[in-house]
Structure 1
Amino acid sequence: MDKRVYWLWLVLVFGPANNRIWQLSAKMKSTEEFCKALREGKIPELTVPERKRAASIPFEEAERIISVSGEKGIRVLSYECEEYPERLREIANPPAVLFLRGSLDFLKDRFVVCIAGSRTPSEYSQKVTAYIARTMGENGCVIASGLSAGTDILAENIASDCGFMTLGIYGLAIDSFVQGEDADPAECGAMISELHSEMNFPRPKFAERNRLITALCDALVFVEGSRDSRGLELCNSCISQGKLLFVVPPHDITDPRYLGQALLLRRGCRPFISDKDVLFELSHMGLDRLEYNARSAEYTDIGDYSFFTDEVSAEKKEKSSAGHRKKAAAPKPQETPSPVQDLSELDEKEKKIIQLLKEGPMLADEISAKTGSDIAETLSALTMLELDDYVVSLPGKRFGLQH
């Protein structure tokens, strides 16, 4: 039987974005073995509703959805498919099944920049969104968004009109997308979703959709948001996965529409002043993945890549020489006993994090998954541990123990 049938059947039983698929299957040798054990009721940890669905939903239902998807030009990718994005395999709760329109081949050799903001962006934010979409696209980046109204759709439309590649991560059923006057991401790149109209499940929460957006992008630019903006959840997901986050400074510091940006900048997020801010950081990750286009001179004064190559080379040279001097002057290491940490004043959640970090540095996303805590609670606990000198922030948005 097609392995995709087993994976899709699991989604029909547990629902999309449900981490229990991974928790319960961890000790199984194969997906097929796990599915058969579920069908036969041999998994004692199942809830009553899960047990009922496992017994009542036939494998033929998964086969039918795969067939219907094919007729609509929608591909079904399971976790075991070769085409399944490697970037998604690296997150704590990867989707068991993805529905895809278009192709994701660009993930192998292009940077993906996500643009997010308000559903009702100001005139200023609309101008900035257009500027970001054009300059990033002209330098070879794929423009991604969550396809929500406002900033997301504006970025998709601008990129599509300019002929740039786009990626839409949809929060609704993939076959429910109505193009209308808006651009279809699949025509210029790809569109993905964890949902299909044939699946009788409510759409995942924004936090669950957000994990896919931040996993697939290399950088996120947040254009506008109030202190209650749902876009802040996307920014937190970006931080927890260790991705580059840029924030457009508020157009008016007295306007509540921009308070979300002010909060992020206070937390130390990178300000977005021009496209150079993003392109310079991306150049450290692989200059060959950027494509300078002369038309970008209309929007930016980069001119050529010497701006990146000179600074990157100088930085590497400085690090190399500094490392050499440090190595020459370093005394012989001496073994000293590690002090025993007093954890008596910590709560159980904080103690769990300390024990977990003894295995080595981790992203907040990993810590959240392994402790079973909400990402917001995990970030709060990490902040307190860092203030009390138990934990230290490391490069790449990772956390480790303070020595």
Structure 2
Amino acid sequence: MTNGIYWLWLATRPRCSARFCGHLLERFGSPEAIWRAEQQEFEDIPRLNKVKMDSLMEKDLTVAQHIEETCRKQDIQIVTLEDERYPQLLREIPDPPLVLYVRGTLPDFTDRVSVSIVGTRKCTRYGKQAAWHFAGNLAQRGVIIVSGMAIGIDGTANRAAIEAGGETVAVLGCGVDVCYPWQHKQLMDDIMQHGAVISEYPPGTEPKGTHFPVRNRIITGLGKGTLIVEAPKKSGALISADLALEQGRDVFAVPGDINRPSSAGCNARIRQGAAELVQEPADILAQYQLTDSRIQRKLQPVKQASIQEMPREKERKKLLRRLEGSEEERTVWCAVHDGQETVDAIVEKTGLPAASVLTALTMLEVGQYIAATESGYQAAADVEL
């Protein structure tokens, strides 16, 4: 029996968080020792309830063996907390994942600068341009860009790093064999060619709303600093910023238009002193050139430049799909594209009967022109009318 089996067994214990399992590892020394322990050996463990106890007393290794076999067949790497490939930065957070599932090539974070870039899904063109500018310029200078591959700022940061010829890592809230959002299938494939997609969730795990706040600690944990590009006052990006501060990491923020709600979170964090204002990639590079001679030799200051344009419009249009559907479907798609996420909002925006809206939404989902998310409907980014 390989030692990895016991790591997989421990990582899949229901209701046993990474932090709780970390306490068990401190007590017992290894996952195998935890697996072999009898019930009485757990009785004085803090925060141990009946559900956790029953979970730890379940010694069946079938699930772990199935995960291991699935990973072997799908060429998914299993990197455990004791593996030398496991990033040291991530080991240092209070609740590091016990296991990372990896597709692609996990960059060597040793003596490298890594920056996590986060922001809202409903970003403006300004936000996308800023994410492209920072991620691209940092990646060109050897910085590993970490993000979440989500629609909006995250996916833009991953893509910009690739286009700049750099390395990037996407942390998923699902299995690494599941593409979410589905619109980013090509991006996911490209990330694996220029870095890695990783997750703490086993292969086949579907995305759930509860997964994403948990995975955010990995995004920030892999970065020496976290950059918030654009975020409203209530957003997952600000939760990530708080996690980064708790982890003792630097937090940077790009200032935004005071009249735009999408910039309110960044501006507030800057005002509160919870994030350092940055206007150019050189601001972030300067922060780390002072701390490591190897980094200083590798990275050179970026000259002040205007925000880079994203891929040319002609090239972008080649990738677009034309929406084939009825006039009602086109009307509904436009409403979703304009930010109407719920059925009620779409009905109010379009003036169409609710039954017609529901029918159109169903057809648009079948055609993959929209996707249903936790917050409502989102329009596919590769569609034109």
3-state SS of 1:13 partner: coil
Instruction: Give the equivalent residue in structure 2 for 1:325.
Output: none
Question: Which residue of the other structure, out of 206, 225, 228, is the alignment partner of 2:231?
Answer: 225
Question: Would the aligned equivalents of 2:148 and 2:154 in 1 still touch at CA under 8 Å?
Answer: yes
Residue segments in structure 2 that go unaligned for 5+ positions in a row:
308-385
CA RMSD of aligned residues (A): 2.7
CA offsets 1:233-286 (integer angstroms, 9 cap, x no match):
011111122212111112x21222211012101121211111121010010122
The structure-2 alpha-carbon separation of the partners of 1:203 and 1:71, relative to structure 1 and needing over 3 Å to count, comes to farther
The structure-2 alpha-carbon separation of the partners of 1:256 and 1:246, relative to structure 1 and needing over 3 Å to count, comes to same
CA offsets 1:301-355 (integer angstroms, 9 cap, x no match):
9xxxxxxxxxxxxxxxxxxxxxxxxxxxxxxxxxxxxxxxxxxxxxxxxxxxxxx
1:118 and 2:120 correspond: yes
Q: Shift in Å at residue 190 of structure 1?
A: 1.7
Question: Which residue of the other structure, out of 190, 198, 210, is the alignment partner of 1:192?
Answer: 198
Distance 1:150 1:4 in 2: 36
TM-score where L is the length of structure 1: 0.67
Q: Match of 2:186, as an amino acid?
A: E
Instruction: Give the equivalent residue in structure 1 for 2:336.
Output: none
Q: Match of 2:141, as an amino acid?
A: N
The structure-2 alpha-carbon separation of the partners of 1:76 and 1:15, relative to structure 1 and needing over 3 Å to count, comes to farther
Distance 2:262 2:304 in 1: 29
Distance 1:200 1:125 in 2: 29
Q: Shift in Å at residue 206 of structure 1?
A: 3.6
The 5 Å alignment of 1:1-400 reads: 1-14=1-14, 17-37=17-37, 42-44=41-43, 46-56=48-58, 58-177=60-179, 179-184=184-189, 185-198=191-204, 204-250=210-256, 252-268=257-273, 269-289=275-295, 291-292=298-299, 299=305
Question: Would the aligned equivalents of 1:238 and 1:244 in 2 still touch at CA under 8 Å?
Answer: yes
CA offsets 1:201-259 (integer angstroms, 9 cap, x no match):
96754442222112211122111111111110011111122212111112x21222211
Q: Shift in Å at residue 293 of structure 1?
A: 7.4
Q: Match of 2:264, as an amino acid?
A: L
Question: Would the aligned equivalents of 1:160 and 1:183 in 2 still touch at CA under 8 Å?
Answer: no
Equivalent pairs, count:
298
Q: Match of 1:43, as an amino acid?
A: F
Q: Shift in Å at residue 41 of structure 1?
A: 6.6
Q: Shift in Å at residue 173 of structure 1?
A: 1.4
TM-score where L is the length of structure 2: 0.70
3-state SS of 1:108 partner: coil
The structure-2 alpha-carbon separation of the partners of 1:65 and 1:71, relative to structure 1 and needing over 3 Å to count, comes to same
Distance 1:215 1:232 in 2: 15
Q: Shift in Å at residue 17 of structure 1?
A: 4.2
Question: Would the aligned equivalents of 1:137 and 1:165 in 2 still touch at CA under 8 Å?
Answer: yes
3-state SS of 1:245 partner: strand
3-state SS of 1:10 partner: helix
Instruction: Give the equivalent residue in structure 2 for 1:342.
Output: none
In percent, how many aligned pairs have the same letter?
A: 27
Moved over 6 A (4+): none
3-state SS of 2:151 partner: coil
The structure-2 alpha-carbon separation of the partners of 1:166 and 1:13, relative to structure 1 and needing over 3 Å to count, comes to same
Q: Shift in Å at residue 83 of structure 1?
A: 1.6
Q: Shift in Å at residue 128 of structure 1?
A: 0.9
Q: Shift in Å at residue 42 of structure 1?
A: 4.6
3-state SS of 1:147 partner: coil
Distance 2:207 2:9 in 1: 13
Q: Match of 1:4, as an amino acid?
A: G
3-state SS of 1:176 partner: coil
The structure-2 alpha-carbon separation of the partners of 1:232 and 1:238, relative to structure 1 and needing over 3 Å to count, comes to same
Based on CA coordinates, which of the two structures has the bigger radius of gyration?
A: 1
Q: Match of 1:166, as an amino acid?
A: T
3-state SS of 1:228 partner: coil
CA offsets 1:30-72 (integer angstroms, 9 cap, x no match):
332211115x575235433334434445113212211211211
Q: Shift in Å at residue 188 of structure 1?
A: 0.3
